[in-house]
Amino acid sequence: MAWSFQIKAVARPRLIMRVAQIFDQQMLEIERFDLTREGSVATIHISVECDEPVARRVHAKLYRLADLAHVDLLDQARPAPVVGEPAALGSPVYLDPLGPQP
């Protein structure tokens, strides 16, 4: 099954290496990798072929990385969501390191 990860992170050295290492640890081949940087925020889109439990494991492991602000996990087999519906299995607001901290 095809899964897509949309990652927002603080643009810092070795960010790409740390993100790619998570996929490498799970023995996944990255089908697509796009990086866009706007100021100090990097947006990374990664597509892989794997089972749902592996995709959810990678999603959880990505949150352990420093400097990651938000990670969305999208199932590419499902149709695009209707406007106003949640777009993905995203992160809770309280895990946003770029936002205000309690």
Element housing 40 (H / E)? none
55-101 pLDDT, tens per residue? 999 999 998 888 888 999 998 776 554 444 455 555 454 455 555 55
Q: Which domains does the chain have, with CATH numbers?
A: 2-78 (3.30.70.260)
Tell me the sheet residues that pair with 45: 6, 34
Q: CA–CA separation, 36 vs 17, rounded Å?
A: 15
* Number of Cα atoms under 13 Å in the Cβ half of residue 82: 0
**Confidence (pTM):** 0.73
Q: Are 39 and 69 in contact (CB under 8 A)?
A: no
CA angle 59, 64, 20 (to 5 degrees): 65
4-39 pLDDT, tens per residue? 999 999 999 999 999 999 999 999 999 999 999 999
